[in-house]
């Protein structure tokens, strides 16, 4: 495998293995917990199956062996997992055949190096001291674990122990040749192997070095926040830490750290209706579920938590076919489910709905959901940036390996991106995938901003062509403009930005989030406001850019899909029928509607995304900005049954004109006997009119008219039905409807003015005001 060939999976046999139930058959997963004995039975039977097919496994390895692989020498896969399972069974049951099988694997493992030719060895500077018996740091600990179990059980004599120690020591030296440290998956894997080496060979002359490096790498990970933001590598890191703690006999101590409890709740509350943690960052759809299964079984047992047990049960019942126990990689994980999990823990589906996951410092994600069933509606917003933590570790990685396309590390330019939208078991929006080359694919695939459902900003002017969209430069024949992707594409290098949560509310009739991305270098701030309207079920997304300097910007509001089923003026009906090789349910479609069209053009382009052909849908504008000037997009996302015509919505959603113009964005939505009004303020600092006294804000400076409503609030959500108005306004002092007061804060006492003027009364802003009033229309 060379660097210029597609690399769809990184060490695929250990990260992505597993039985996958056809996604088109999503159903309510069984809520009956898997007995621990069933996990052990699977491990035993898979080991027996692999043993019976040993010769076939070896033949396939020989046929696929590639001495030019970028990963170097790789021994046969699946053997070490079998060795651990048989070693454990021998330890528990004393069946000598199990010891014979496990020992055969361990003692023959060194000989596979003969398949790696000398010319290939000479090409690799890391093989200067010889080809290591255990070259893959993902699996070193498995050899050591089997060896330690057999030695402890008395299945190895002194000569066998002596003969094996040299190869182990040589492999451990190789593990330490590459320096990777910090709270991240690759360091945790090395730490786990070092802990097993110290445990298995405590009297070896190199054991002191192993222990020193175990502590150096392990202390960075123990009780610390992981610097990665990628589903696959979260699971690798967590599983490696559990193995590391197990090797030291300190698993309970690890799980008692606040960070491990946090991560248990974090990943639980990210679980999506497809029965798994969604893929974000360097990740693929449904990948690495087996490691999450072990983590949830272990934490459910430790914390005696029925909801964590629900997560484990959901994953196990979805993915594992216990009637076909043949996957030896999965069997290794299920052995740990047996060892670290527990029975007699009830299964309880979580009841929480839309919420932050878990907060706005470390997790930086928001989930909108109406339930926890396979057909529930679910939207995941990721606004995680690199953050301030782990600086030394992030800098080291940047300086050591080619990671220019990554948000350090394994993260994407997905800040403020909608990662996943599901409704009725159908996937309606989805993330872009991991990569198809190393270190990244063309144009930074699939890590750069234009592979995600987000706003992309460039500090140049796009050539929009003539007579395209709303732009009318000439009366001559139309001249095509630039392709959006051609304009946006670059090498894919990651731009460092910072993100903040501005607000989040979850109320009975709507959920509301406002999150901000700031690019200090390019000179703009982008607020994404998501409003989950609960009846009728839809999402209104406001994307608001505020220029932090005088500059020309092009803004492209990007959405991605697999198929466009129908389209018209500023609307697109879409569906995901598959992700890579996973067929998906298609009961629901997604209508993507752009109601605000002035000085914007929209369109579609074909693209390659998540290893498949997809379509980009965009709405784009470009202009010269003054300092502090704002502009915004409105996108309405409407999940609907596939047999429901999308055109029924086209006359039900209208843009509200705001006063002053461009001070805010708003829409009206008609549904049955109700009209819903939603409005957002573009610039949350427009209220600030003075500094010599508090409050700094005034109503006159901050008021915006949204149709018949007027308020200085940041956000308005109102439903008009008959003679009643039900409304919620956020961060306000006053509100009016048809010039009649709905609400006005009462005056309070504000002193200590900076100009020494007399103390006065003033109106403080309420967090929000929610009410229902009768009106005469």
* pLDDT value for 144: 98
**β-strands 455-458, 578-579 pairing:** unpaired
* Statement: residue 3 has pLDDT above 70: no
Closest CA to 618 of 598, 650, 594, 599: 594
Inter-residue contact 590 to 429 (CB < 8 Å): yes
* pLDDT value for 395: 94
More confident residue, 463 or 488: 488
**Residue at token pair 């804000």:** 697
* pLDDT value for 28: 55
* pLDDT value for 439: 85
For residue 439, whether the previous peptide bond is cis, meaning omega lies within 30 degrees of 0, is yes
Cross-strand pairs, 601: 620
Q: How far apart are CA 316 and CA 314, in angstroms?
A: 6
* Statement: residue 346 has pLDDT above 50: yes
Closest CA to 390 of 197, 225, 625, 630: 225
* Statement: residue 9 has pLDDT above 60: no
Q: What is the pLDDT of residues 246-289, one digit of tens each?
A: 999 999 999 999 999 999 999 999 999 999 999 999 999 999 99
* pLDDT value for 340: 98
Closest CA to 316 of 376, 275, 274: 275
* pLDDT value for 438: 86
* pLDDT value for 672: 86
* Statement: residue 775 has pLDDT above 70: yes
* pLDDT value for 751: 86
Closest CA to 112 of 96, 90, 136: 136
* Statement: residue 10 has pLDDT above 70: no
Mean pLDDT of the chain: 93
Lowest mean pLDDT among 59-63, 403-407, 638-642: 403-407
* pLDDT value for 759: 82
Q: What is the pLDDT of residues 61-104, one digit of tens each?
A: 999 999 999 999 999 999 999 999 999 999 999 999 999 999 99
Q: What share of the chain in percent tops pLDDT 90? A: 89
Lowest mean pLDDT among 331-345, 465-479, 755-769: 465-479
Q: What is the pLDDT of residues 618-639, one digit of tens each?
A: 999 999 999 999 999 999 999 9
* pLDDT value for 13: 38
* Statement: residue 429 has pLDDT above 50: yes
* pLDDT value for 24: 38
* Statement: residue 437 has pLDDT above 90: no
Q: Angle 664-670-675 (CA atoms, 0-180°, nearest 5)?
A: 70
Q: How far apart are CA 754 and CA 750, in angstroms?
A: 12
* Statement: residue 482 has pLDDT above 90: no
Helix axes 140-152, 231-247, angle to 10 degrees: 20
Q: Angle 369-374-379 (CA atoms, 0-180°, nearest 5)?
A: 30
Report residue 17's pLDDT band, with 50, 70 and 90 as the boundaries. Answer: very low
Average pLDDT of the segment spanning 750-760:
84
* Statement: residue 290 has pLDDT above 60: yes
- CB count in 10 Å sphere of residue 468: 17
* pLDDT value for 471: 44
Residue 114 phi, psi dihedral angles, 5° rounding: -65, -20
Q: What is the pLDDT of residues 519-572, one digit of tens each?
A: 999 999 999 999 999 999 999 999 999 999 999 999 999 999 999 999 999 999
Report residue 220's pLDDT band, with 50, 70 and 90 as the boundaries. Answer: very high
* pLDDT value for 474: 40
* Statement: residue 577 has pLDDT above 80: yes
* pLDDT value for 16: 42
């Amino acid at each position: 495998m060379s660097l210029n060939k597609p690399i769809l999976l990184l060490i695929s046999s250990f990260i992505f293995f597993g039985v996958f139930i056809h996604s088109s058959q999503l159903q309510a997963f069984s809520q009956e917990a898997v007995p621990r004995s069933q996990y052990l039975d699977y491990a035993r039977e898979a080991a027996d199956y692999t043993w019976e097919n040993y010769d076939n496994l070896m033949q396939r390895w020989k046929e696929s062996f590639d001495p030019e692989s970028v990963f170097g020498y790789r021994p046969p896969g699946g053997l070490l997992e079998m060795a651990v399972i048989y070693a454990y069974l021998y330890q528990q049951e004393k069946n000598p055949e199990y010891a014979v099988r496990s020992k055969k694997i361990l003692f023959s493992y060194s000989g596979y190096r003969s398949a790696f030719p000398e010319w290939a060895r000479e090409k690799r500077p890391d093989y200067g001291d010889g080809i290591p018996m255990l070259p893959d740091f993902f699996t070193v600990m498995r050899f050591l674990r089997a060896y330690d179990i057999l030695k402890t059980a008395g299945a190895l004599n002194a000569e066998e122990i002596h003969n094996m120690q040299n190869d182990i020591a040589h492999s451990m030296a190789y593990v330490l040749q590459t320096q990777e440290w910090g709270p991240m998956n690759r360091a945790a894997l090395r730490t786990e192997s070092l802990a097993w080496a110290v445990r298995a060979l405590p009297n070896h002359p190199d054991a002191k070095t192993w222990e020193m490096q175990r502590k150096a790498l392990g202390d960075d990970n123990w009780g610390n926040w992981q610097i990665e933001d990628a589903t696959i590598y979260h699971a690798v890191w967590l599983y490696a830490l559990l193995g590391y703690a197990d090797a030291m006999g300190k698993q309970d101590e690890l799980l008692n750290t606040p960070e491990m409890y946090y991560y248990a709740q974090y990943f639980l509350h990210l679980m999506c209706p497809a029965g798994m943690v969604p893929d974000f960052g360097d990740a693929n759809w449904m990948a690495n579920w087996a490691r999450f299964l072990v983590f949830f079984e272990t934490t459910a047992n430790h914390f005696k938590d029925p909801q964590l047990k629900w997560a484990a049960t959901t994953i196990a019942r979805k993915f594992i076919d216990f009637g076909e126990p043949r996957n030896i990689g999965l069997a290794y994980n299920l052995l740990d489910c047996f060892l670290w999990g527990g029975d007699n823990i009830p299964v309880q589906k979580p009841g929480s709905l839309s919420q932050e996951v878990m907060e706005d410092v470390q997790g930086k994600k928001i989930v909108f959901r109406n339930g926890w069933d396979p057909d529930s509606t679910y939207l995941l917003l990721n606004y995680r940036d690199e953050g301030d933590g782990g600086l030394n570790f992030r800098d080291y990685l940047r300086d050591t390996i080619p990671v220019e396309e990554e948000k350090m590390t394994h993260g994407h330019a997905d800040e403020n991106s909608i990662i996943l939208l599901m409704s009725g078991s159908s996937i309606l929006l989805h993330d872009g995938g991991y990569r198809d080359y190393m270190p990244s694919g063309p144009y930074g695939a699939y890590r750069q901003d234009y592979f995600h459902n987000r706003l992309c900003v460039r500090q140049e002017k796009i050539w929009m062509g003539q007579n395209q969209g709303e732009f009318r430069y000439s009366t001559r024949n139309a001249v095509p403009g630039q392709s959006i992707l051609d304009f946006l594409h670059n090498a894919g290098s990651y731009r460092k930005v910072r993100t903040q949560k501005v607000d989040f509310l979850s109320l009975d009739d709507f959920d509301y989030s406002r999150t901000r991305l700031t690019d200090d270098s390019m000179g703009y701030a982008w607020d994404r406001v998501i409003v989950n309207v609960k009846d009728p079920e839809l999402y209104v997304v406001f994307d608001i850019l505020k220029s932090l300097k005088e500059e020309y910007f092009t803004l492209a509001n990007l959405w991605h899909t697999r198929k466009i089923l129908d389209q018209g003026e500023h609307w697109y009906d879409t569906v995901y029928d598959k992700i890579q090789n996973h067929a998906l349910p298609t009961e629901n479609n997604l209508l993507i509607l752009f109601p605000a069209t002035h000085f914007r053009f929209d369109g579609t382009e074909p693209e390659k995304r998540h290893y498949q052909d997809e379509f980009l849908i965009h709405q784009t504008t470009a202009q010269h900005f003054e300092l502090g000037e704002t502009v915004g997009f409105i996108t309405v996302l409407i999940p609907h049954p596939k047999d429901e015509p999308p055109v029924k919505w086209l006359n039900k959603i209208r843009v509200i004109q705001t006063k002053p113009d461009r001070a805010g964005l708003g829409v009206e939505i008609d549904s049955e006997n109700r009209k819903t009004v939603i409005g957002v303020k573009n610039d949350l600092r427009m209220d600030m009119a003075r500094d010599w006294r508090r409050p700094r804000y005034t109503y006159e400076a901050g008021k915006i008219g949204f149709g018949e409503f007027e308020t200085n609030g940041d956000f308005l959500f109102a439903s008009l039905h008959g003679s009643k108005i039900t409304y919620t306004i956020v961060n306000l002092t006053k509100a009016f409807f048809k010039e009649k007061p709905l609400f006005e804060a009462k005056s309070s006492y504000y002193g200590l003015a900076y100009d020494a003027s007399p103390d006065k009364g003033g109106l403080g802003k309420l967090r929000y005001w929610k009410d229902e009033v009768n009106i005469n229309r």
